[in-house]
Structure 1
Amino acid sequence: MTELWPIVTAFCALAALFVVGLPMIWRRKLEGETVDDWLAVRRTETSDELLLSDAQLRVWDDKETENSAQAKADSITSASSRPGYQVALAGLIVLATIVLYDRLGAYEDVQITRSIASLDEATPTDVTALIARIEARSVERPGNLDYQSLLGEYYVATGNAAGALERFEAILAEAPNAPDVLGRAAQAEFVAEGQVLTERARKRAEQALAGDPRQKSALATLAMGSFGAERYQEAIGYMRVLRDLEIPGSEGHQLMISAIAEAESRLSSAGATEVVSETTAAEATKAAVTVTVSLPVGVDESALAGQTVFVIARPAGSAARMPTAVTRIPANSWPLTVSLSDANSMAGQKLSALAKVDLEVQVSPSGQPGLNNASFTGALRGVLVDSNSVAKVTIRAISQ
């Protein structure tokens, strides 16, 4: 606040000057009408004593009227110029300024933003103080979702899963379909419940994947929940998606490889009749869905250059939006022909286990999945899972 007070003081002093000081020097004399000039003219025009006498009487009457009006004006001016009124008005201006800033001011938000920008140079004490300021500010501004998100991430990093869940739920109250928030809320609840995947956490994670099939928090939550429940085949599916999202050779990539190996080992030890290895997954391409995606009439393919096409398969007739298989390709040339197989399946599911699927096509300018990010979309229901047939979908523009 040290930067703000000089500015506030200067503006309040300026307001007081206008309200208190200037009225004391801006006095205007009120002059009434007079017939002196008219009398002087008439004197030169006539020497009639009667007319002169009558004119003099009128002059005296006008003088009395003028003096009375001036006295009245002086009394009004002096009353409006009493210092007490101006001082009270100046105080009211200062009070109103303080109240308005308290309700609408954003100086503290600016200071918090500056502190966040300089976090690289901050000490642990500085970080703790900043979090305390954000917590206090979030109480004053409960609708600020950025503060809720920052606190949620901080609580996750510091092991306060219950606190993080509370913050993410506050965001979900305003944005109930945000995939990243749904995924983080599911993960926080999973940790807060002692590594137990509750029904609500599972539904939130699946809803997050329906909006964004590559939402890491949701994938990790379902993977750990399935692993803990000894559903190793399902866990392996989620882990493979997570592995493919990591940069090859990175720490996260190696961690997923180790986790997949551990899950496959436990699956084998449990007496599973079949362990789906990488080779098996690569070979499971006989059952597939092939779809040709075409542009609508009148749309030039250059208008979609550089955009990303998502082809999504779900169980036929299912109300859930959890994908069974997903593939993405660049929109280079039209029409596009895409094949979906078990190699594109997600989260331990198998496309080959379904007889029919519903297909959805999304064209995304940003490269992010989800109807909210799509400029064109198309759908086809009840498509047979058969590598010998080709389904055809014509996309349409989404009305903005």
Structure 2
Amino acid sequence: MVALWVGAVALFVIAALFIFWPLWRYGAQKNNISVIDVDARLAENVRLFHEHIAELETHLAAGRIDAEQFAQLKLEQERALLDDEANIRAAQQTRRLNVGVATFAVVAVVAVLSTYVLYRELGSSADVEIRIAQLEKQYLDNRDYQIGKDPDPARTREMISLIEERLEDNPDQLQYWFLLARMYMDVSDFGKATNAYLQVLERDKESAMVMAEAAQAMFLRDGSKINPAAADLVHKALKVEPDNIMALGLAGIEAFGKQNYLEAIKYWGRTVKLTGADSPGGQALVAGIERAAGLFFANGGTQEQLDAARDGRHIAVNVLLASDVKVGPDQLVFVYARAWQGAKMPLAIARFKVSELPKRVVLTESMAMTDSMTLATVDKVELVARVSQDGTATAKAGDWQGSIGPIDSAAAPADLQITIGEQVAP
């Protein structure tokens, strides 16, 4: 902000020099003739003119000059008289310039002050200040992240204060309401974040992103509960943008809360397909899907109903641990499907701890590592279940595993089972 005003002042000084320099220069010349009595000067010139004419007439009468010479000399005297009068009038006008300079100086000062006041009232100085503060906050936050430190929330609160002040003057600035909502989310003020998001929706009623974020703010404000208003926003967002990840996750939470476990599995399965099963959010959703499936079965649901509700191909397998296998309860188990012939990259993969065995695992298209290699891209697969010694997905000597195959990926039996009981050779 300081740089803006310094630049403005510098431009004003340059402009003033272009105008005041000529005025000052001619004003200095004016001071040299300010004591001249214009009328007396003119009268003296006229007197001298008549004296010269009288002398010429005397010379003409004495025959020293002829009539033609007399006329020429008289004309020259008349021209000299007119030139002197013009110079005296110009000097008189220069004297009056003093008033013009003073007036201009006053007008210039008034113009500068008026410009400053009008810019403060009607200009974008507040927007410039917010932008500068935002850039500084981003720089400092990124620096904190690089050294493993959480950003100072005081910066966010300072931004909130600046935006709130700006919105008091201009409450229809949609981008500031949206930015304010996210700032409130950053400081966990979910009530004010909700209100800010609703202000955005009053001005942009068709934004799926804003609907989903507003529903999330309501969800957090209400203690991780989906109220009717939030649910309405979620379903409106999905109508506008069916692949909105945030809305899909919230829709699954709503369905789960209503004990509609098949719907929850459907929404969360779609989310995992979009985000990937290996992402942090994807892993949590896979666990949620498994929990929803367990509750579905506990409430009398059947595997056929669950399979019918899933999107795309899926393979369910029961994973057991042989009694003579000695592994720790916190070791990771990887269960995956890979092509029976061809590349060995997993087409679908799940992981969990040994302590959860025995466990029924459902591998789906959404659990693929890439969109180009899923259960739908091959006809025959091999299922592998392995206990990792070092927590990585790559098989190493000493790991325990089991496998079955080939399995028809389009019509896998419902009673598949893998027993982990073979140790990977060195």
Q: TM-score, normalised by structure 1?
A: 0.56
> Which residue number corresponds to residue 114 of structure 1?
135
For 2:143, the aligned partner's letter is E
Could you say which residue in structure 2 is the equivalent of 1:214? 243
Match of residue 361 from structure 1 = none
Distance 1:50 1:161 in 2: 106
Q: Using the TM superposition, give the Cα deviation of residue 209 of structure 1 relative to its aligned residue in structure 2, in angstroms.
A: 1.0
Q: How many angstroms does 1:255 deviate by?
A: 0.9
Call closer, same or farther: CA 1:240–1:78 in 2, change over 3 Å.
same
Q: Which residue, 179, 187, 209 being the options, matches 1:158?
A: 187
Shift of 1:101: 6.0
Matched, 1:186 2:205: no
Match of 1:96? 115
Q: Tell me the residue number matched to 2:198.
A: 169
1:1-400 to 2 correspondence within 5 Å? 1-26=1-26, 47-48=67-68, 51=71, 55=75, 58-59=78-79, 62=82, 65-66=85-86, 69-70=89-90, 72-82=92-102, 85-97=104-116, 99-100=118-119, 103-105=123-125, 106-118=127-139, 119-122=141-144, 126-137=152-163, 139-140=165-166, 142=171, 144-272=173-301, 276-278=305-307, 281=310
Q: Tell whether the 8 Å contact from 1:182 to 1:204 is kept in structure 2 after alignment.
A: yes
Q: Does structure 2 conserve the Cα–Cα contact (< 8 Å) formed by 1:135 and 1:151?
A: no
CA distance in 1, matches of 2:25, 2:84: 28
Equivalent AA in structure 1 for residue 24 of structure 2: M
Q: Is this contact kept in 2: 1:20–1:87, CA < 8 A?
A: no
- Say which is worse superposed, 15-24 or 238-247, in terms of deviation: 15-24
Local SS of the residue matching 2:252: helix
CA offsets 1:315-358 (integer angstroms, 9 cap, x no match): xxxxxxxxxxxxxxxxxxxxxxxxxxxxxxxxxxxxxxxxxxxx
Distance 1:201 1:46 in 2: 116
Query: Identity of paired residues, percent?
Result: 18
Q: Are the aligned partners of 1:236 and 1:263 in contact in 2 as well (CA < 8 Å)?
A: yes
Contact 1:182 1:208 in 2 (8 A): yes
Contact 2:276 2:282 survives alignment (8 Å): yes
Partner Cα distance (1:228, 1:210) in 2? 21
| Residues 147, 128 of structure 1: alpha-carbon distance in 2 compared, 3 angstrom cutoff | farther
- Distance in 2, matches of 1:250 and 1:63, equals 95
**Larger RCO (CA under 8 A, 6+ residues apart):** 1
CA shift digits 1:20-66 (9 cap, x unpaired) = 44421145989xxxxx9xx9xxx9x9645874696478458636753
Say if 2:215 and 2:230, in contact at 8 Å, map to a contact too.
yes
Deviation (angstroms), 1:115: 2.1
Deviation at 1:71, TM superposition (A): 5.3
Kindly state the Cα deviation for residue 256 of structure 1 after the two structures are TM-superposed. 0.9
Cα distance per residue 1:362-384 (max 9 Å; x no partner) = xxxxxxxxxxxxxxxxxxxxxxx
Q: Read off the aligned partner of 2:217 and give its amino acid letter.
A: A
**Contact kept? 2:201, 2:207, Cα under 8 Å:** yes
For the pair shown, the structure with the greater C-alpha radius of gyration is 2
- Is the CA contact (8 Å cut-off) linking 1:16 and 1:90 kept in structure 2? no
Q: Is the 8 A contact 1:19 1:89 kept in 2?
A: no
Residue in 2 that maps onto 1:355: none
C-alpha RMSD of the superposition: 4.1
